[in-house]
Structure 1
Amino acid sequence: MSRRSGAPALAAALLLGATACSIVPTSSPTVQITQAPERPAPEFISEPLPPARGATPEDVVRGFIDAAASSVPERPVAKDYLTPEAASTWSDAGGITIISPGFATAASEAGSVVVTADLVGTVDQRGIFTVAGTEPFSYEFPLAEVDGEWRISDPPDGLVILETDFERLYDPVDGYFLDPTLRQLVPDPRYLIGGEAQPTALVERLVQGPSAALAAGVENPLAGAGLARTVTVDDQVATVDLTGLDVDATTPLRELSAQLVWSLTRLDDLTIRSVVVTLDGEPLPLEGVPEEQTTDDWPAFDPDATPLETVGHYLDAGSLRTVEDGAPVPGPAGNGGYGLSSAAVSADARTGELTFLAGVRPEAGQSTLLAGPYGGELAPVLTGRTLSAPTVAATRPEVWVVRDDTEIVRVPAGSRPQAVSAPTLAGLGRAQVIELSPDGVRVAVVVTDVQGVPRLHVGTVVRNEEGGGVAVRDLPQVAPTLSPVVDVAWRSNGELWVLAGDPGEEAPYSLGVDGWGLSQQVTSGLPDQPTSLGAAPGREPLVVAGGRLWRWARGTWVTLVPGREPLAGSAPFYPL
């Protein structure tokens, strides 16, 4: 399943089950497709209508926007709304502008129609979504008379499409790349039209490489390769025939295979059970791997895996406890002697053993970060006027914090603190919350801007493995309309849960890492608005409401231990 399966994918199933183009008609210089899958005739499809005789300028512009919802290649109905000259040069391949359904049109005496709407975002030719800011969409459509009928003479490049139509037509899918250790798959969201060509379109995007925002933080085993022919799917088996790949002892063939298998088997539009990967028609030289590969052959690369037997933790009166029964953890951190206000724990990915603990102890005028072995003695490793709650990732035994609202610091287990270069952070405002993604490639930061409004930013972690330096180069907003933000946690490597809202109206929201799919979650079962949040892949989110802890279970919030009173506590989190 894709990271955001649900209503949009279900709504698109009937309409798009047989379509076969990618996000927009496009080509790649590194992928040479020798044949294209045929588009089967759908059982039922509702296509936009051409312009009616005598249509007003506003009707023509509205009809052109409606025609963007066509699944027919090159969208010929949309061209019917254009003058012959404009139709000969306009292409739907220039990217996509997504606007809200409630757009307005206003005709002018000069023979043009101005369209204004809330701008949701844009999707480029590679299927990469960029969330819009707060500026509205506005475009002036000039029109001319052709044989007594109004037609658009200068349309915008690409498509202007309503958000509801985009959700019906395009599937959110994840293409996976590798973290710098080549051990963890990292999702890179794309938006593709469904149908038989979707697997080919996805592999094309993998070959082309990650999105610009992610590129510096990941590796691409498919770099330099091409597709010898289209990806075919027969009896739930996808065949990917690569070309142009130089194979030697250093070529990461296992990682390449895992990248393709996990990406293709998670497509919602087609059921793909296994993947055959060939190089110029010959099997890849992989020992101990069957010809038909499944995710069971690459379990270590599961992008949503969490350490074995990981349970939630929280703080209560300075004592670190687990959510299973509220019992204190072993060692001094569990007896409350350190007086911790927040904590984070690393686990061994192979055994699930909890190994590294870090916690913040507030003191008069300053805060201290303590670190050490889980269940053992902790020692001071960092001080500051303020320290954020610590955060860890599943890929490295290190903890990150924000010191004094402006400086990101990481502390590797058993090593000295090291500054993380974040040149854009100071200009954004004061950072209160920081959360590493489980794969360690992205970081979410809640920053209070100059207007005093806490907002959500997500950046890519860039590591210099040789020099040891770590940077977060950019921190763009991913939910500009969501504020004020109280807390954030990673439900998966590609999905965030956020607490946001005015005081007394806070609620949990979910959204993709690129900002798509913002959706409010229910608060039923909670006695008050939530104030703190904890989440992890494959685990039930935790919140604090009314000073007590609650867990998410089948669409509602319940007590941690069934049949018992809610436990008092704060700062919930899951070890990684």
Structure 2
Amino acid sequence: MRTRAIGLVAVVLALSGCVGIPTSGGVVTGGIIDDRLEPDFFVLPSGPRPGSTQEEILSDFMLALRGPQSQYAIARQFLADSIADDWNPDAEAIIRTGIPAMTPGAAENSIDYTVTSKAVVDADGRYQETPPASQTLSYSFVQEDGEWRISDAPDAIVLSQSSFNVVFTEQALYFFDPSYQYLVPDVRWFPARATVTSRIVRELLEGPASWLQQGVVLSSFPIATSVVSSEVVSGTATVELSSEALTASPADRERMQQQLAASLDVSSVIMTVGGLEIVAPETGTPAVRNPGVESAVLVGTDEGFGFDTGEGPTGLGALGAQVAAAGATAATLSNDQQTVAFLSPAGVSVARAGADQPLVVDARSGLIAPSLDPFRFVWSVQGSSAGSLKVFEVDGTEHPIATGLPVDARIVAADVSRDGTRLLVYLATSAGPQLGVAGIVRQQGTNIPTELGELLPLPAPSSTPVDATWVSDRVVATVSHGAEASPITTVEIGGPSSPLSQVSDATTIAGGNNGTDGLRVLAPDGSIWQARGSGGWVASGLTASFLASKQ
């Protein structure tokens, strides 16, 4: 989770050379600067300047949106009395790119403010990256005491990317998987102001995003529970809840504390109702956030299958020998290193520690690399159709699953998150590449997958899809084929996408620990490349026939 140092810095923001509103002609650029500010400090913008023109008022109003303190109190000074209290800046945040333009509006005393939007944040703090598109917002003006003020404004704010990084803070709300073994993030973005802790708790109590509903993730708070107040002092959060919280069972009270501690990023939580503390037991078995895996790269070579630190694949003993003997070309290893789902000429098979030989669970042709979830269900699909996805137990028992994935789309990757709640899919469709995650709905008590929930679209590179993987519990990465190289892109689920340095060519990408530092890419010649911060990709010195995934 990204944290921000909260400081108060007075910044004098003066505009010079502002252009008046033309009465004829084309679009003119308004007096907006493309700000470059340090992201770890708040901005204290200036209020209205006496004698400002309508254009100057709007320009300064946009600059004032970088100060969310006291519910954007300074920005409200630019508004007429008739709308100052009702204007809702939290309804939508538009992240722009480039320089906005101002033109006279259709009505008298109005200005159209046109921007190229690249992303939006909705009223619940959900971030959605969008293809760049022109968007026009209209503002009307009226004179009050001889000074121009904005009399009509959309319930929205507009920020450049750098200003957005200052004004908003990223915060993951955490919910449980149905087994209560894992905490699953639902990333949100909130204005960084004094009331942000109560905003986080309020949104947590409202529940997860729609694509994580239908039992994909669970909250332990009783229905209708609301937050009265919340504050954080020296790493301890004190959260006053409504009386509905008293109906929670002892087990749910402890889980409520876990959700609050993870969402507020604090070491301890005190929950109260009516000023009296809600006592919660301590079982000593907290849920896991962002499960880790063995750090060594997992590979298949002519010598075997296992972890390679420079001496060849080792560490899996008889299990690794079974996978290698079967002629595996792709594989996924369970977190306890006792089960492997792998692809070979026979289809998708399962090798288990203690078993004499692997078991073929899916013998269909044209299968891609399988995925293995933490509850030992194998996910297998034919590359020619995303609609061919099937789920098997490790004993070969098939369980029907409703997916809603397009049957006419080719699929290059299907990978279950390490907490077992979400499926990452990378598709090639007639409309172009598509990347998305879908919640996994499971049967209560058995963890058997029964259907995929709503598919959440993610930004996908325009180049040909090759492979995708989980980087962490909230970030995924893709590799694709461009005209001359293979671009690597990371996408935060509920956040922005970011291109990494590309490699000359790649066939596979696999995640590990430590974010992008744990990524590994396999080249056609068998060399394995690893990310090195902003310095691009470097050869690891290891080679393999295939690069495997670690669940």
TM interval, shorter chain, is 0.7 to 0.9
Could you list the runs of 5+ residues in structure 2 that have no partner in the other structure? 11-39
Pick closer, same or farther for the CA change 1:150–1:278 going to 2, 3 Å.
closer
Distance change (3 Å), C-alpha of 1:142 and 1:278: closer
- Name the counterpart of 1:37: none
Q: Does the 8 Å CA contact 2:478/2:489 hold for their aligned counterparts? A: yes
SS of residue paired to 1:492: coil
Structure 2 counterpart of 1:474, from 445, 454, 463: 454
- The alpha-carbon deviation at position 455 of structure 1 amounts to 2.5
Shift of 1:503: 3.9
Does residue 408 of the first structure (1) align with residue 389 of the second (2)? Answer: yes
CA shift, 1:87, in A, is 4.0
- Of 297, 317, 331, which aligns to 1:312? 297
Structure 2 counterparts to residues 95-494 of structure 1, below 5 A = 95-107=92-104, 111=108, 112-132=110-130, 134=131, 136-144=133-141, 146=143, 152-216=150-214, 217-224=216-223, 226=225, 229-242=228-241, 243-247=243-247, 251-264=251-264, 266=265, 272-288=266-282, 300-306=286-292, 309=294, 311-316=296-301, 319-324=304-309, 325-327=311-313, 329-331=316-318, 334=321, 336-347=324-335, 352=336, 354-362=337-345, 368-374=347-353, 376=355, 377-394=357-374, 396-403=375-382, 404-406=384-386, 407-426=388-407, 429-451=409-431, 453-465=432-444, 468=448, 470-480=450-460, 483-494=463-474
Q: Distance in 2 between matches of 1:441 and 1:128?
A: 19
Structure 1 pair 436–16 and aligned structure 2 pair: CA distance change class (3 A): farther
User: Deviation digits for residues 223-267 of structure 1, max 9, x if unmatched?
Assistant: 336356422333332222333224465752332222222222x2x
TM-score w.r.t. structure 1 length? 0.78
Structure 1 CA distance, aligned partners of 2:194 and 2:349? 54
Cα distance in structure 1, aligned partners of 2:305 and 2:385: 25
Once residues 400 and 210 of structure 1 are traced to their aligned partners in structure 2, the CA distance between those partners, rounded to angstroms, is: 25
Q: What does residue 517 of structure 1 align with? A: 496
**What residue is the counterpart of 2:32 in the other structure?**
none
Shift of 1:529: 3.7
One-letter amino acid matched to 1:157:
D
**AA partner of residue 268 (structure 2):** S
Q: Deviations over 1:288-307 (max 9, x none)?
A: 56xxxxxxx55x42302325
What CA distance in whole angstroms lies between the structure 2 residues aligned with 1:98 and 1:408?
37
Preserved CA contact (<8 Å) 1:320 1:333: yes
Asked whether the equivalents of residues 489 and 536 of structure 1 are also in contact (C-alpha less than 8 Å), the reply is no
Distance in 2 (alpha carbons) for counterparts of 1:192 and 1:108: 31
Asked if the contact 2:302–2:545 (Cα under 8 Å) also holds between the matched residues in 1, the reply is: yes
Change (3 A) 1:193 1:138: closer
How far apart are 1:342 and its partner, in Å?
Answer: 0.9
Range with bigger deviation, 280-289 or 188-197 = 280-289
Q: Is the 8 A contact 1:51 1:80 kept in 2?
A: no
**1:483 deviation in Å?**
4.4
Aligned partner of 2:544 in structure 1 is 568
* SS of equivalent to 1:70: coil
- Cα distance in 1 for partners of 2:464, 2:99 equals 25
Is structure 2 residue 488 aligned with structure 1 residue 508?
A: yes
Deviation at 1:44, TM superposition (A): 7.8
More strand by share: 2
Provide the secondary structure at the position in 2 that maps to 1:157.
coil
Percent identical among aligned pairs is 20
Letter in 2 for 1:330: G
Kept after mapping to 2: 8 A contact 1:459/1:475: yes
> What's 1:532 paired with?
508
Matched, 1:68 2:47: no
Q: Considering only aligned residues, what root-mean-square deviation do their CA atoms show, in Å?
A: 3.3
Q: Secondary structure at the match of 1:411?
A: strand
Post-superposition offset of 1:163: 2.5
Q: Which runs of 5+ in 1 are unaligned?
A: 18-41, 267-271, 290-296
Q: CA deviation at 1:479?
A: 1.0
Q: Distance in 2 between matches of 1:249 and 1:231?
A: 22
How far, CA to CA, are the matches of 2:132 and 2:365 in structure 1?
A: 37
Residue deviations 1:471-530 (CA, integer Å, cap 9, x gap): 11322321156644432211211112222461433232223112x23222345xx6x344
Native 8 Å contact 2:299 2:313 kept in 1: no
- Compared with structure 1, are the counterparts of its residues 73 and 152 closer, same or farther at alpha carbon in structure 2 (3 Å cutoff)? same
- How far has the Cα of 1:570 moved from its partner? 2.5
Instruction: For residue 187 of structure 1, report the CA deviation from its aligned partner.
Output: 0.5
Q: CA deviation at 1:344?
A: 0.9
Query: What is the Cα deviation at residue 438 of structure 1?
Result: 1.0
Higher RCO structure (Cα 8 Å, ≥6 apart): 1
Q: 1:254 to 1:150 in 2, by over 3 A?
A: closer
Q: Tell me how far 1:190 sits from its aligned partner.
A: 1.4
How far apart in 1 are the matches of 2:125 and 2:245? Answer: 24
Residues 44, 411 of structure 1: alpha-carbon distance in 2 compared, 3 angstrom cutoff: closer
